[in-house]
Amino acid sequence: MDTAKTPSAFGQDTLDAVTHERSLGLPGTFALWLGANVVVTTILTGMFLAPDLAFLHAMTLVLLGSAIGIVPLVLIGVMGQQTGMTTMVLARGTFGRLGAAFPAWVNLLALVAWSWIQALLAGMSLDYAVQSLTGYSNVALFTVICEGLVVLIALRGHLGIETAEKLAAVLMLALSGVVVFALASNYDLPSIVEMEARGGLGAGVAFDIVIATAFSWIPLAADYNRHCKSLRAAVVGTWGGYVTATLIAMGLGAGVSALSVAIGFPQTYDPTQLLSGFGFGLPAALVIFFSVLTTNVMCVYSATLSYMSTAPRTPFWKPALVIGVISVVGSLIPGILDQFQTFLLIIGSVFIPAFSLMIVDYFLLGRERYSADQLLGHTDALPRVNPVAFVSYGVGAALAYYWNWVAPLDFGASLPVFVITGALYFVASHVSRRAGRAVA
């Protein structure tokens, strides 16, 4: 069954190749990735950059890091657009029919952890909004309500998510404008440009954090861009939407962080805390709420598709419901937000090598293994496991661990790991093929 041919189905999205009646044009793709990344976790990342770095220096790194870091995501999205396949089904072409279960389970666990953070932040934001209007506060209850809404949107499938992202993109741009206007009206906002760097975070590490943020989105790319109507929409819409969103979100986080330090307030990324006394706390809280809600929908949806790639006969709605419940339970883990920066680096270590292999395999080594018949069929057209891919991945993951935690590089580990892993796999694959022909 082609998911694109059942637009009214509820909880029935499948892994089948999308080939007809695709739903995302250039504006829709731009809005999807804009809405996805104007999110509180990206705003929180901006807090790590300033005032440790001068504000303009930080924003230059954000522009360069997001513009470069988004390229692998765009390429995986192109793979989805050209084949109509989800990300983890595409992984079968690189890792093998059974070997692809490894990145699928890693992706599932990572997205669930990501969803924990998103669910808690959404509940906290909705709690603040309700409390400011009624005086009632119950973070746990509002977390459950938010996650319930997330699951309902996810069950509507990709069409529900696309609609939600378009609405959210418009709302978040408008609300972000209101928040910036309120900050400028009540504080000396331009003064943050003149603040000297406080030190503590090197430019290389900051650049790597921005790169890692972009890389953290790679597992979701093909899940959504397989619905793009054209290659232009998949490339231009994704690149433009993501870079614009990152500049807005990290710029807001860095600006609020620098401003809070400048006025002697405890450092924060949350504009709600600076504006609650001026009557603008509600719009600030709504920015946080809508951004988290829409991003969490994408996490739950892609986590569900990842599980389905390991158990293809499972109907979509069952894992979606289970993952939603797990997200609520996990969001109540004490101190989970304190581990966010470490989580970003772990994501980079796990996923950068895997998707470097997939990009090299598809674009440089050959696309003959990426047809629907081979990826979705039950034949022996694909190997069960690709040992060259796993050895190359192991080397890349080891380098990522070493350069992130044992002997950190001044300029960060993300790009070196990505390039080295891909180059190693390219060379090793050619050597393996020549050896195989020699034996034959």
Domain membership of residue 172 (yes or no) is yes
Instruction: Tell me the per-residue pLDDT of 240-279, one tens digit each, with 9 for 90 and over.
Output: 999 999 999 899 989 999 999 888 888 887 787 787 777 7
Least confident of 76-80, 99-103, 351-355: 351-355
175: its two tokens: 């609300």
277: its two tokens: 């006394």
Instruction: Tell me the per-residue pLDDT of 329-366, one tens digit each, with 9 for 90 and over.
Output: 877 776 666 665 566 566 656 788 999 999 999 999 98
Domain membership of residue 11 (yes or no) is no
Domain membership of residue 438 (yes or no) is no
Contact status, residue 23 vs residue 39, Cβ threshold 8 Å: no
Mean pLDDT, rounded, for 102-108: 91
Domain membership of residue 176 (yes or no) is yes
Mean pLDDT, rounded, for 184-204: 86
What region, left, alpha or beta, does residue 264 occupy, with left being phi > 0 and alpha being psi -120 to 50 degrees? left
Domain membership of residue 9 (yes or no) is no
Domain membership of residue 13 (yes or no) is no
Instruction: Tell me the per-residue pLDDT of 106-159, one tens digit each, with 9 for 90 and over.
Output: 888 888 887 887 788 788 878 887 887 888 999 888 888 888 888 888 888 888
Domain membership of residue 431 (yes or no) is no
pLDDT at 6: 43
* Residue 218: domain span: 21-337
User: What is the per-residue DSSP string for 124-177?
Assistant: HHHHHHHHHHHS---HHHHHHHHHHHHHHHHHT-HHHHHHHHHHHHHHHHHHHH
Domain count, the chain: 1
pLDDT at 3: 41
CATH number of the domain residue 283 falls in: 1.10.4160.10
Domain membership of residue 345 (yes or no) is no
